[in-house]
Amino acid sequence: MNAPLLAEKLLRLDETSQVPLPLATQGVLRYVWESRFGEILIEVAGERTFVNGQLVEPLDPEPSP
């Protein structure tokens, strides 16, 4: 696989007083998605998913006829 090796900490383009966010945590997958609306943090911990720290509730599947 030729996927790029990504940094384990979120690196910002400009100077900031914010502490770097470690992206590698045991049992938690973190992704930072940069869109035109800003950065979005997506975290997956087991069966639960969080976006910017808020739990994402799964949609109940529609009953089959």
Confidence at residue 39, expressed as pLDDT on a 0 to 100 scale: 86
- What is the rounded average pLDDT of the residues 41-62? 88
Q: pLDDT tens digits for 12-44? A: 666 666 666 666 678 888 888 888 888 898 999
CB 42 within 8 A of CB 33: yes
Token duo for residue 7 = 């940094």
pLDDT at res. 6: 62
Question: Does the structure show a pLDDT above 80 at 64?
Answer: no
pLDDT value of position 48: 92
Residue pair 45/28 in contact by the 8 Å Cβ criterion: yes
- Residue 51 pLDDT > 60: yes
